[in-house]
Amino acid sequence: MKTHEGAIYLISSINKEIDFLFSYLLSNLEITKMESVYLKLIYHNPGISQYEISKETKIERSLVTKYITNLEDKGLIEKRKIDSRKKGLYLLKDGILAINYIDSFLPNIQDKFKDLFS
């Protein structure tokens, strides 16, 4: 039983450290974790609608609208008219830079913990 407790403690500690590092990274970008999730979704699905994001994330449309508005206000994304009824979301230059910054940071997190596991 003690071996399992040690493993659980180690995993919990790693999770807390990753959460701290990721929060620090995002604070440099002045975005929240949820906003980073939306940025990634838009990056991988250019033209995705708020409705599609709501459906995919299973988050209420009003909350999705709040995060999308925040990202628009920060100059990271924009809405473009796709047709007479639909608007799609696209990353702006600063949004792409934010995604690249996040992606460049991830290998650093992996390197920090790779020696813990054999």
pLDDT digits (tens, 9 = 90+) for 65-83: 999 999 999 999 999 998 8
Distance, in Å, from the CA atom of 90 to the CA atom of 111, rounded to the nearest integer, reads 32
| Domain edges within the chain | 4-113
Tell me the per-residue pLDDT of 3-37, one tens digit each, with 9 for 90 and over: 677 778 877 887 787 788 778 888 888 998 889 99
Question: What is the CATH class of 4-113?
Answer: mainly alpha
pTM metric for this prediction: 0.77
Distance, in Å, from the CA atom of 103 to the CA atom of 31, rounded to the nearest integer, reads 15
Closest Cα to residue 69, out of 34, 45, 100, 103?
34
